Homo-oligomer: A and B are copies of this chain.
Amino acid sequence: MKPLSTMQERVFNKLRDHKRRTGILPDLSAFARDMGMHYVSLKQHLEALSKKGYVVFESKGRGRSPLLEFPAELTGIPVLGNIPAGPLSEAILEADSYLPLSGFHEDHFALRVRGDSMADLIQDGDVVLFDKRKQIERSGQICAVRVEESEVTLKYLDKTSEGYILRPHNPLYPTVEVPFKNVTIEGIYMGLLRGEVLAALVQDRTYYS
């Protein structure tokens, strides 16, 4: 993503704050007054931000309210199809869809579950939401964990003096204990979506405010 100039960053941050506070995006002229800046200057900044992909800004003509939105990849939480061996941050950059959930931000991501290690509690195909923390607060929390360099799996996590106990919900899978240094916690379970709700919520790189 292209770098922003000082003023462009100030405009962008203030815009995001306003969105967080009020839930909506402000009038251009009111926003310009708020920034202590001229309307035309603000407009030029927004056009620059738009060209760099930080916002979506479309003038509609005189007197008409312009369209001003955040692109999905900035405000939605990314839905990952699978997490390969690499670090999580790379997988997030390749997310192809986003969930517009208020209250969820940079610290969260979603995973489209493959496999049935947590069945029947979590089904193949469910979209599970995670907090990007690296530590569990108590035993028995469901986590997205990576053992060594393998794929990410979902398990209950318990802590012992030597390492983590990875416990599946599905009794067909084995419970294993792994030393701390071989386990990476990618995220902690926060909730899930299943079935046709997904089609109604998941946004494929489209825009929303």
Residues of chain A touching chain B, judged by Cβ–Cβ distance below 8 Å, are: 27, 63-65, 101-104, 120-121, 123, 129, 169, 189-201
Contacts and interface: CB of A to CB of B under 8 A. Distances in A.
A197 B101 contact: yes
Given A63-B63, A129-B197, A193-B194, 6 more contacts: A27-B65, A102-B200, A190-B196, A192-B193, A193-B197, A194-B194
A139 B22 CA distance: 48
Count copies of this chain in the complex. 2
Contacts of A200: 101-104
Contact of A121 (B27, B65, B120, B198): B120
Given A120-B121, A199-B103, A193 B193 contact: yes
Q: Which one of A189, A193, A196 has the highest number of Cβ atoms from chain B below 10 Å of its Cβ?
A: A196
A140 to B, nearest CB: 15
Nearest to A119: B120
Nearest to A197: B191
Contacts of A63: 63
Q: Which one of A64, A123, A193, A200 has the highest number of Cβ atoms from chain B below 10 Å of its Cβ?
A: A200
